[in-house]
Structure 1
Amino acid sequence: MPPVARRHVLLAGAAALAAPRLAAAQDAWPSRPVRYINPYTAGGPTDTLSRLLCQKMAEISGQQFVVENRTGSAGLVGNQAIAQSPADGYTLGLGGIATHAIAPTLYARMPFDAARDFTFVTGMWQLPNLLVVNLDIPATTVPELIAHLKANPGRYSYASAGSGTTLHISGELFKSMAGVDITHVPYRGSAAAYPDILAGRVHMIFDNIPGALAQARAGRVRPLGVTSARRSPVVPDTPTIAETLPGFDMSSWTCLCGPAGIPPATVARISALARRALEDEGLKRGYLDQGATAWWTTPEQIADFRASEERRLAPIIRASGARVD
């Protein structure tokens, strides 16, 4: 047999022998510990919610899910690490609205392609923001606030946890839909903004529910509206902003993702495990304690949702003038 032909036969034989082992490895997932990359700091809301999910998946599967906090560049560093990992299902992590729907428009240069460089498995949770205002603001409802802002254009400001965050985009969407003139004041995290809000130097914030609710329950700020399309079970008596501005919807959401190219059989197993975890009553209660709602989707649904969110948010981000070069 000619050397070239013999080499082709040997390669084909090796591939045939490897195929059953690969299929068995996929069918056995997870047969060893899984690394879960959280691109945000330890101890924050995403860390707490991630660890609740990883703990439940570990309980169900009998394998460890080890959370690794890989921070930097508003989540881009951690997601770059996810995208560059082996596509075997043993490195997964947290994607979401900031890194996969806002960042593609906000950043002039991205370290990854938000659509092509990932395997999307499922949604994980949704977490709306809560509009709270300084107690000196003469408004107890969203309509009253809008009327007051229109009567005083340019006089008031809103805080955020930084340009391009859902807190910022919530404010820009509110400005656009309500037709009001308020100034954006970015901070390094929402906690840093509250001293100025309480002192009246900044007047309101569209903060994630846990932080805003803690301030409201302490009587330091007044809650006016939830940014999700439907009322939050955490604050069921607080109206949505959409009840005043139909179509208003801005919630933080996250997804479980891995690098592009994870075999479909492995994706199916990860998806099934995540579904069992996210539908667990104990986990759902733990999420509600943090202001979040557990959210399972199919891989196809979360990929389509991510793309639709990028399209929806792009004109709002461009209109805000936010840009990172």
Structure 2
Amino acid sequence: MQRRSLLLAGAALGFASAAHAQGWAPTRSMRLVVPFAPGGAADTVGRLLAEPLGTALGQTVTIDNRPGGGTTIGAQAVARSAPDGLTLLYATPNVQILNPHLMRSLPYDPQKDFTPVIAILRAPKLLVVRPDFPAQDVAGLIALGKSKPDGLTYASAGVASSGHLAAAMFGQMAGLEMLHIPFRGTAPATQDVMAGRVDFMMDNIATLLPLVRDGRMKALGVSTADPAAAAPELPPIGRTLPGFHDASFNYLLAPAGTPPEIIARLNTVLNEILDSPALTSRFEILGIEKLGGTPQALEAMVRAEHDRWGPVIERGGIRLQ
């Protein structure tokens, strides 16, 4: 009887917690802080989430763009916000995974100042060269790099950008001597690769795949462990370099101390939004993979990625001032 009473009490607490989570709703408008300027990929996806999230919770969700500082300005704004569920951060790997390795100091604690909410998406990268580049695949690119006295050159959208880090990891794993040519954005980087002034680059599939389809660039491989749904004909780089895998993933964070019932409610609603046909279709068009899942799964993912990128950044001597 005692055991049965304990089970019933536990069940009652579980139902009460679920009801509380289901019942939470914001009392005024919410804001989703995007640590980038309007018009970029993060801003686009943030806006795709904001409207259905507001509809589900009965309040307007506004996008608050806070660019600058390698995402530190937006992250700090959320870290200092009240833990009431009304302020969320659209996070990229910089916030908790990369910046702790890239910067000597941060205006926030990347682990203690945030509560995980949900993983949003994973975006594969393409490794691309100009159409008449002599290498036809990843193995050919590696062989060419090892045969050239000065090695290969590669372009990126800037120092410590996702494309810079992915290419640096590629070079380290392949044992290549390479020279990094940073640009101010993806557009000028792609122009110099297409013009033959730089050997190759890696960047998100949504940006590069249209150029490949138009014949303006040649893709040698995709960064994910498995073929990308948007370009299943392209082989994963990991088939040539075992263990190589990379995909930029985005996720949502709340300020530390946000009550578990609020996190649970947000997670439930956002999982439903990610599973909706409208968002699934849009993500497929953009060539990105939806994630979702629990806050605990997100926390483990962030921790694993933090530990994986630390040695790459250290070996490459990559720093942000």
Within 2, Cα distance between the matches of 1:51 and 1:314?
31
Q: Which residue of 1 aligns with 2:206?
A: 210
Matching of residue 150 in structure 1 with residue 146 in structure 2: yes
Q: Deviations over 1:159-211 (max 9, x none)?
A: 11112221011111111111111211111111121221122111111011111
| TM-score for both structures, normalised by structure 1 | 0.89
Q: Deviations over 1:242-295 (max 9, x none)?
A: 111111111100111011100011111111111111111220111121121111
Q: Alpha-carbon deviation of 1:235?
A: 0.9
2:25 aligned to 14, 18, 29, which one?
29
Q: Name the Cα RMSD after superposition.
A: 1.7
Within 2, Cα distance between the matches of 1:26 and 1:236?
39
Matching of residue 49 in structure 1 with residue 18 in structure 2: no
1:297 aligned to 274, 277, 293, which one?
293
Q: Which residue of 1 aligns with 2:220?
A: 224
Q: Alpha-carbon deviation of 1:62?
A: 3.1
1:82 aligned to 78, 81, 84, which one?
78
Matching of residue 166 in structure 1 with residue 162 in structure 2: yes
Contact 2:34-2:65 within 8 A present in 1 as well:
yes
Within 2, Cα distance between the matches of 1:28 and 1:107?
38
| TM-score for both structures, normalised by structure 2 | 0.90
Matching of residue 95 in structure 1 with residue 91 in structure 2: yes
Matching of residue 281 in structure 1 with residue 264 in structure 2: no
Q: Out of 47-56 and 263-272, give the one that drifted further.
A: 47-56
Q: Which runs of 4+ in 1 moved over 3 A?
A: 23-27
Contact 1:231-1:240 within 8 A present in 2 as well:
yes
Contact 1:127-1:252 within 8 A present in 2 as well:
yes
Percentage of identical aligned residues: 36
1:183 aligned to 152, 173, 179, which one?
179
Q: Which residue of 1 aligns with 2:133?
A: 137
Within 2, Cα distance between the matches of 1:299 and 1:206?
30
Within 2, Cα distance between the matches of 1:99 and 1:188?
20
Q: Which residue of 1 aligns with 2:254?
A: 258
The number of equivalent residue pairs is 303
Q: Which residue of 2 aligns with 1:3?
A: none
Contact 1:37-1:78 within 8 A present in 2 as well:
yes
Contact 1:115-1:307 within 8 A present in 2 as well:
no
Contact 1:35-1:65 within 8 A present in 2 as well:
yes
Within 1, Cα distance between the matches of 2:24 and 2:306?
35
Within 2, Cα distance between the matches of 1:247 and 1:276?
33
Q: Which residue of 2 aligns with 1:119?
A: 115
SS at match of 1:287: helix
Trace 1:192-207 onto structure 2 (pairs within 5 A): 192-207=188-203
Contact 2:159-2:182 within 8 A present in 1 as well:
yes
Q: Alpha-carbon deviation of 1:24?
A: 7.6
Query: Rg bigger for which structure?
Result: 1
Contact 1:103-1:164 within 8 A present in 2 as well:
no
Within 1, Cα distance between the matches of 2:191 and 2:168?
22
Contact 1:98-1:166 within 8 A present in 2 as well:
no
Within 2, Cα distance between the matches of 1:235 and 1:167?
19
SS at match of 1:229: coil
Q: Which residue of 2 aligns with 1:313?
A: 309
Within 1, Cα distance between the matches of 2:27 and 2:268?
15
Q: Deviations over 1:41-84 (max 9, x none)?
A: 21111111111122222233332211111111121111111111
Contact 1:128-1:251 within 8 A present in 2 as well:
yes
Q: Which residue of 1 aligns with 2:65?
A: 69
Contact 1:234-1:291 within 8 A present in 2 as well:
yes
Within 2, Cα distance between the matches of 1:278 and 1:212?
24
Q: Alpha-carbon deviation of 1:156?
A: 2.3
Q: Deviations over 1:217-264 (max 9, x none)?
A: 221110111111111111111111011111111110011101110001
Within 2, Cα distance between the matches of 1:130 and 1:264?
38
